[in-house]
Amino acid sequence: MQMTTSKEFAQKLDSEDTLAKYRGQFFIPPGKTRAEQLYFTGNSLGLQPKSVVDYIQQELNDWQKLGVEGHFHGKNPWFSYHHFFDKEAKLVGAKPEEVVVMNNLTVNLHLLLASFYRPTQSRYKIIMEGGAFPSDMYVIESQVKQHGFAYEDAVVEINPRAGEYALRTEDIVAKIKEVGEECALVFFSGVQYYTGQAFDIKVLTEAAHSVGAYAGFDCAHAAGNIKMALHDWNVDFAAWCTYKYLNSSPGGVSGVFVHEKHGNNPDTPRLAGWWGHKESERFQMKKGFIPEPGAAGWQLSNAPVLAMAAHKASLDMFDEVGMDALVAKGKLLNTFLEHVVMDAQASNDKLEFEIITPAERGCQLSMLTNENGKALFDYLTERDVIADWRQPNVIRLAPVPMYNSFMDVWEFGELLKGF
């Protein structure tokens, strides 16, 4: 396809877009200078599906009419509510029993590290990307300290080469090999939040296993964004939030993946709770924890039904569309965005920025700006462009396939030209 940055080309792409109808199934915030905002922060908080209110209302109705009996006699019985999320596994390329929805992301990371970071005096190091999302850094810092290790010694951070912004896969693999038998865990994000780089999860997992380490991933910016095959890639564990690309309410619930080789092993160590106990015997109220097979055995408490109802509304939509269609449109949308912003820069001497997102990406473009970057961001905000500013000088843009249009991107480019 010969790509141009004209309005007519954007309109043509929208007319051919098989997912265009889904835009109308979301609430797009109204603007002050335009009817609808140009919303490019689906990588931070996805927009609200219009169906959410009905999904939550159903649980409120059952609570109102049934009280505690809603656990077994509601339309969606709360006792088994997590079973309604088997579709989650399709998003990350897993078997249904390898995935469970529970808690929030950082809580789940700590629960997973309790199982998969069990260091010894000789094997205790964690390899991760430098500049990881702060929550990941804090999780790892507290975990190694809890085991009596100093962060500077136990954590090996890998940074890009001088003058580069993305990490090279071969550099990560080389560092894993170098640390070797001292490595207990390789822990990366699936997609780097700042640059938008999508890491090669399969290769990193293979490298970790080659030195006897576990491989785990924070897929907060990957779930619902890029195509994954966590089971086939033999990943040990992963977790993700659902409020970014998965559009499932602010602070919403989190998904967890535990490979079946660990989830079906009752001897896999874990922190236990009532809801992770063998489901068929849960109400026998006996001593002695017997884990439910699969990722469900990591549950602690019963489902936060109202938050999960919001996620269910979005998940049903994702299941209808499918990741193949979403990824295909997302790639085209992001490529068009790159052409548009570079065309705008070529036509406006005041625009100085560099795209630091590599070709291995999902639905994100990170623009490294100069000293006028914040002024540019404020200019866009005043004109109803909802983007994301990250210190010290990056503007993150994430047009997502479920509700963004190609005309959104074209109109953004016109605003850039007018800066």
Q: Express each pLDDT in 348-395 by its tens digit.
A: 999 999 999 999 999 999 999 999 999 999 999 999 999 999 999 999
| Other residues' Cβ atoms within 10 Å of the Cβ of residue 341 | 22
Distance CA 178, CA 187 (A): 16
Range list of β-strands (E), 301-412: 353-355, 365-369, 385-386, 388-390, 394-397
* pLDDT for 402 beyond 80: yes
In this prediction, residue 315 carries a pLDDT of 97
* pLDDT for 23 beyond 90: yes
- Nearest by Cα to 304 from 56, 44, 26, 42: 56
Helix (H) or strand (E) holding 361: none
- Distance from the first to the final alpha carbon of the chain: 30
* pLDDT for 2 beyond 90: no
- 3 state SS for 3-15: CCCCHHHHHHHHH
Under the banding of pLDDT at 50, 70 and 90, the label for residue 89 is very high
Q: Is domain 7-49+322-417 in CATH 1.10.3720.10, yes or no?
A: no
- Per-domain residue ranges for the chain? 7-49+322-417, 76-321
Under the banding of pLDDT at 50, 70 and 90, the label for residue 165 is very high
Assess contact for 249 and 274: CB atoms under 8 A: no
Q: Is the dihedral of CA 229, 231, 237, 241 positive or negative?
A: positive
- Tell me, yes or no, if the two domains 7-49+322-417 and 76-321 fold the same way: no
Q: Taking the model in full, what pTM does it have?
A: 0.97
Distance CA 142, CA 413 (A): 43
The predicted-structure confidence for 27-71, as pLDDT tens digits, reads as follows: 999 999 999 999 999 999 999 999 999 999 999 999 999 999 999
Coil, helix or strand at residue 105: helix
b/e code 357-375 from CB counts within 10 Å (16+ = b): bbeebbbbbbbbbeeebee
Mean pLDDT over the full length of the chain: 97
What average pLDDT does the segment 104-114 reach? 98
What average pLDDT does the segment 158-173 reach? 98
In this prediction, residue 95 carries a pLDDT of 98
Residue 340 CA: distances (Å) to CA of 4, 203, 336, 407: 8, 33, 6, 11
Under the banding of pLDDT at 50, 70 and 90, the label for residue 1 is confident
**In 147-289, alpha helices (H):** 151-154, 169-179, 201-210, 260-263
Under the banding of pLDDT at 50, 70 and 90, the label for residue 217 is very high
In this prediction, residue 24 carries a pLDDT of 97
What average pLDDT does the segment 7-11 reach? 97
Backbone angles phi, psi at 86, to 5 degrees: -60, -25
What average pLDDT does the segment 151-164 reach? 97
Share of the chain above pLDDT 70, in %: 100
Distance CA 29, CA 413 (A): 20
What average pLDDT does the segment 175-182 reach? 98
CATH of domain 76-321: 3.40.640.10
Location of structure tokens 């625009």 = 351
* Structure token pair of residue 61: 């109705």
In this prediction, residue 74 carries a pLDDT of 96
